Structure 1
Amino acid sequence: MRLSLAALALVSTALPALAEEVNVYSHRQPELIQPLIDAFTAETGITVNVAFVDKGMVERLQAEGDRSPADLVLTVDIARLLQVVEAGVTQPVQSDVLEANIPAEYRDPADQWFGLTARARIIYASKDRVQPGEVTTYEDLASDKWKGRICTRSGTHDYNVALTSAVLAHHDAAYTEAWLQGVKANLARKPDGGDRDQVKAIWAGECDIAVGNTYYMGQMLADAEQKAWAESVNVVFPTFEAGGTHMNISGIAMTKSAPNKDAALKLMEWLTSDAAQKIYAETNHEFPVKPGVERSALVASWGEFTPDALPLADVAAKRAEALKLIETVDFDN
């Protein structure tokens, strides 16, 4: 039986409109991004479904192929972003909004990935045992004066691989290998735990300085048990001898399958807006990537610094070589 045009119109108006949604695979802890998701949905009406995928994200996307429900991938590090892109499971995104809001050094020249927040890889320095100005450069971490005084997490962790990649980008392989050997010789203990564990070790007197990300300071100060650890150290923004402070990012990429491409692009663009960047700054203690959005009062209290001008794409390109050098010196043993 055929329906008249009028009847079809009545049927179509009787059916509910399909709500827009976006599906996200995220390396980021759910509690860190939930305030952003809630604000985006409240403003746009678009539902965001987040699956926390701590390990095996690339393998999962490859196995799902064109059937993957994921529209976007959120990661915590440039290395992980690069792994997703190199696996061939993302697509380029052309957006005037993203180009305007994100500085060139924090996005892929081929438009495959985009930074959303930045963090500095800094030095936590004991207030009691390290004098102001005693450590100023990353290169200085290999100096004999730090023998038995440094704590760090595993050298093969993404954050330290990124730092080593930056050393390699500023110098060469021979220098970087010698630097790694020097830092290893200065360790007070075998690499272990996360960045906050290194601050705890300084508080306990096991070492004097440690390498870590800025935002962990904010997290520790908000934790009753860890506040004393954070208050035992100063935040030091070291630089490269011929550059600035090493930066890393959390970032986003659109999957090749992206069943909800239009809604996914809306979320990508919204995450670089003033509103979203302010939420990132206030709740996660990270640096907004969009120029003109202020850091939180706490982060600003740590002082001014000069971010390294080396594009993160150049740093990421050194990752495989950096990891090989870390393994060559057997850094963790």
Structure 2
Amino acid sequence: MNIRFSAIALSLAAATALPALAQDKVLNVYSARHYQTDEVMYDTFTKTTGIKINRVDADDAGIVARLRAEGAASPADVVLLVDAARMAAADAQGLFQPIKSAKLDAAIPANLRAAPTADGVTWTGFSTRARVIVYDPIRVKAADVATYEQLADPKLKGMLCTRSGSHPYNLSLFSTVVERLGDQKGEAWLKGLVDNMARAPKGGDTDQIKAVASGECGVALTNTYYMARLVKSTKPEDRAVVERVRVVFPNQGTTGTHVNIAGAAVAKHAKNRDAAVQFMEYLASPFAQQYFADGNNEFAAAKGVKVDNAALKAMGGENFKAENVPLASVAKNMTKVQQMLDRVGFK
């Protein structure tokens, strides 16, 4: 069963309950993912285990609002969100519970999970996306945008386009850079980004790619799956954009390219905890990893699993070096980095 709610409705519908099924044969999943390829993954879990999935689809904010409103009465067992910053924020609000799983420990790298405690781990990444640099090869040399740090170089003055600095995708990247550079150098880097902007931040990642293609900008940041969607598109206007820009996976010679996650957690008040843990372990299996990652043109998170995605390969994403900064440690920087953004005038 697939029940859809708007973010507003979710925040108001605290009393809405999912259909009641046998306690040991149902799993209630609140999901910010809504990709057709995921359906095969869910169906296979049900056929294999006999556990039926009831799903509530909404965006991250709507799901978090619903969990908070429902409190202990929430029927949610598993929560799927699409960004480490959002996972960390929901965790900080006490919406998840820790679990212990030898299978997850073995399959998912530690840097893609919440920091472990004596009680276990609260959230786990199951797919990754890279935050890459898109540039205009007519105006910009690849060597001049080989690292995130170079985006603050004065030679790029008037060329940089981004979405809002406070958006979780940017906030996760910026928090990682500050973690590596330290507070003083990190804030100076953010100021350099502001100084190099071609215009005030606006739009989403696809808008940034198109702005580079149109000549409005010389360089921009984007998550890989936005570029992959354009690569896969058959629309002439999208094909023209792809032909006009180039992609760099930054910091390949040093710390590696920043990666973010789509992840899952067991809800704080899960009524079907054992089934929830079983589902989390299933998401780490090679079969589920293929569907979970490819549904949004992402990379698998589990060790040794490769997603065969032509669009990702086309942009050079087959064997790139990813950074290994723990996303859990990055999360603690986010409030501090937001204050830095305010100080340097990054909208």
> One fold, TM greater than 0.5?
yes
1:173 is aligned, of 175, 183, 191, to: 183
5 Å matches for 1:304-323?
304-323=319-338
Q: How does 1:185-200 map to 2 (within 5 A)?
A: 185-200=195-210
**Equivalent residues in 2 for 1:115-264 (5 A)?**
115-225=125-235, 226-239=238-251, 243-264=255-276
SS of 1:199's partner is helix
Query: What whole-Å deviation, never above 9, does each CA across 1:243-288 have from its counterpart, x for those lacking one?
Result: 2211111111111111121221121111110001112343322111
> Which residue is 1:9 aligned to?
none
CA distance in 1, matches of 2:309, 2:269: 40
Map 1:45-124; keep pairs closer than 5 Å: 45-54=50-59, 55-108=61-114, 109-110=116-117, 111-124=121-134
> What's the CA shift for 1:223?
2.6
Q: Distance in 2 between matches of 1:18 and 1:50?
A: 16
Q: Deviations over 1:140-169 (max 9, x none)?
A: 100011111111111110000111101110
Secondary structure of the residue that 2:175 maps to in structure 1?
Answer: helix
> How far did residue 297 of structure 1 move?
4.1
Give, in whole Å, the separation in 1 of the partners of 2:36 and 2:135. Answer: 29
SS in 2 for 1:215: helix
Alignment partner of 2:145: what SS? coil
Q: Deviations along 1:267-319, whole A, 9 cap, x unmatched?
A: 11111100011123433221111111113242234143221121111111111
**Matched residues, number:** 317
Contact 1:22 1:263 in 2 (8 A): yes
Name the larger-Rg structure: 1
Is structure 2 residue 33 aligned with structure 1 residue 21? Answer: no
Question: Is 1:282 aligned with 2:288?
Answer: no
Q: Name structure 2 gaps, 5 residues minimum.
A: 1-20
1:205-251 per-residue CA deviation (whole Å, 9 max, x = no partner) reads 11121101111122122233333323322220112885221111111
Deviates more, 1:293-302 or 1:139-148: 293-302
- Three-state SS of the structure 2 residue aligned to 1:308 is coil
Of 306, 313, 316, 1:300 maps to 313
> Residue type of the partner of 1:260?
N
Could you tell me which runs of 5 or more consecutive residues in structure 1 were left unpaired when the two chains were aligned: 1-15
Letter in 1 for 2:156: W
* Aligned mates of 2:88, 2:43 — CA distance in 1: 28
Contact 2:37 2:294 in 1 (8 A): no
| Separation (CA, whole Å) in 2 of partners of 1:197 and 1:70 | 35
Aligned ranges for residues 261-276 of structure 1 at < 5 Å?
261-276=273-288
Q: Is the 8 A contact 1:27 1:74 kept in 2?
A: yes
Q: 2:14 maps to what in 1?
A: none
Per the TM alignment, residue 171 of structure 1 is displaced from its structure 2 partner at its CA by 1.4
The Cα shift of 1:132 comes to: 3.0
Change (3 A) 1:201 1:246: same
Stretch moving more, 172-181 or 141-150: 172-181
Cα distance in 2 between the residues matched to 1:56 and 1:197: 24
> Cα RMSD over matched residues?
2.1
Counterpart amino acid of residue 51 in structure 2: I
CA distance, structure 2, for counterparts of residue 142 and residue 149 of structure 1: 11
Identical-pair percentage: 43
TM-fit CA distance, 1:32: 6.3
Give yes or no for contact 2:38–2:291 (8 Å, CA) kept in 1.
no
1:164-210 deviations in Å (ceiling 9; x for gaps): 10111011222222111111111111111111111111111111211
Contact 1:138 1:240 (C-alpha < 8 Å) held by counterparts: no
Q: Give the superposition deviation at 1:28.
A: 2.6
Give the conservation status (yes or no) of the 8 Å contact 1:170–1:242.
no
Q: Is the 8 A contact 2:24 2:272 kept in 1?
A: no
State TM-score, norm by structure 1: 0.89
